[in-house]
Structure 1
Amino acid sequence: MKTKFILIGGFLGAGKTTLVGQLAKRYTDEGKSVGIVTNDQAADLVDTHNLRSLGFEVGEVAGACFCCSFDNLVETCGKLGDGQMPEILIAEPVGSCTDLVATVILPLQQLLGEQFELAPFGVLLKPSHGQKILAPQEGSRSGFSPQAEYIFQKQLEEADYLMIGRADQLSGEAADALRDRLGQVAPDVPVVLVSPKTGTGVDEVLGYIESPMIAGRRLLDIDYDTYAIGEAELGWVNLTADVTPAGELDLDAFVGELVGDVARSISESCDGQIAHLKASIIADDTQAVANVVSNDSPVDIGLASGRTITTPVRVIINARVAMDPDQLETICTSSLKAIASKHNAQAISLSAHSLRPGRPTPTHRVTTS
């Protein structure tokens, strides 16, 4: 039997990982074997550890987006499963990536169609991004450059179906206005209201995934120069450290304060625009995760541990912000040390990787369906 390959796209901070976890749970509850592949420009992803902590088998493609690491993607898929490819593969690409139909979906269809059954391509968007970029109020701006906004719009244009996330936080009027705007950007594309956190709308998403809708119907007309500039605008920081407490350490309070301090420092010290900022604190048998998805959004404890411990822990920070990556690394490092000191703990073995994404160079690019 072929493995069903499900690609869930969307801009940074849209909630893709939470949705992937919901989809994986639905399929696992049906008795199907599931593998997940995460993707990032650098290693040590909070999302990978988060999904593994939920009991899922997860592979990670690091160092480049799926389109530029196509062979690595295929190899990683082949390593999932106990000697046999899982029945379901769910892949989450880098949030700043687009043109995935031409560089991932159609190459998989045409080169490895005997192994994979491609599900319709769904793209998830955060309502605040949609409202700021697609229907801005007079005199307002999204905080991102026109080139970064270009990536966001191209992601919408190539979707087989679209998902408006955080449905539990949207009024009916706001949802209808966003639907109307999406209809102008991507005409005749179905739109689903979904809340990855509560599970609302996930069954409807599964309906599209399992439908006979053909995958990859919308090839983009895309300017790679504009695309490259938009990606390079974002500073990328992945930081890891070991934290040793002198006494009791409240995991949820620590990770929440850490993310809040980084976000506050970004807003106060520079004109940086947060696309996604997340951190996890990992003990032997538990984990807590917190994130912020914009400059004006509150800290969300996406995964609470409810635990206080006295043993050493591992802390991971993933920051995606429109600002200089070296400055962002300095902020993340300073915040970690400050919050550790506040909790009577010490951060050691600190390692950070900062970068700006390079120009996307796809392994394959199909120009006709």
Structure 2
Amino acid sequence: MKDVTEFTAAEILAIKVEQPEKLFTVDNLKTEKRTLATKWHPDRCKLDEADKVFAHIQNLFKVAEDRIEKNSWNGPATLQYTTKDGSTFKLKYRRVMELEVGKMYIGMKHLAYVITPDYEDLFRNGIKMINSIKYPKPKFEEQFKRQMPVIVKASETDIGFVVVMEKTEELVLLKDLLDYLPENKLDPRHVAWIMSTLCNIACFLDMNGIAHGAISPSTFWVSPKHHSGVLLGGWWYARPAGEKLLALPSESINILPKEVFVDKVGKTVYDRKLIKALGLECLGDKSHSGSTLLKDSSIPSTVLSWLRGATVPSAVDEYSKWGKARDDGFGPRKFVELIVDINQIY
């Protein structure tokens, strides 16, 4: 996040009054407000927009103070917690996101999930499922470990059950990327590499006998720079394939077939259904049916047909079907840059 003195008049006025986190930081709020007030006060600044900018800064500051007082700040700050043995830890984060099971704190190199005490069973299940991931051969570890979560610390604390995971600086939550982009959707060519990554992950989960159950833009992280992705979130809902589910997030409930509510068993085929729904959402269809995309000529028909089609029992066969649809639709593979300034998102 850049220094407040670097913001132009247009940039400040473009910040919505309900998003003071885009201008201020919680640790330096009053100092930043004084700096901005000095710079943009109409008696000092001779720009025509000075009056509007100064008034907007005051409004943003009022909302910021209210957010801090109500503990609902959603910008750069420090998370502090104490474990049961008395150890205290701090984590600098850029953004906080509300979850059905707690909160997620997004830092540059780490990610912290704080699970509320009511969901202790899901917390312990998530840790167990992550620890159950196996790499039968060195080549599998080399390929897939970078797509799976790495736990730095998992503890019972004074603020709930905390799980800290590794996160590289270029990673952005797919949901945040979509919210940031114009029209909240991706070019079909970028959706293609996301689908390839997720189909690959689906094969690995299937090989491990893990039904994740929560693959969505809110749990999958992407690297726009490297065209890669990591499945960091949603592990609280994962189960060994064939075993009873503990719970499902609302996003999955709205997408999965009715049979999931009958047998309530984790199935890897459900993950592949969720992956296709994610692809449709990335293209701009939040209904996940694909019907609103039928007239979009930028989406190859083979790709859309695969996304809208039924999933097949085998993860490997599904990957093969996707590969054919992708290659028939886009032709020879080409690396298309996705230029995103992560600092504008976090």
Which structure is richer in relative contact order (CA contacts within 8 A, separation 6 or more)?
1
Does the TM-score normalized on the shorter chain lie above 0.5?
no
Class of the TM-score when normalised by the shorter of the 2 chains: under 0.3
TM score, norm. by length of structure 2: 0.25
- Highest Rg: 1 or 2? 2
Identify, as 1 or 2, the structure richer in helix: 2
Identify, as 1 or 2, the structure richer in strand: 1
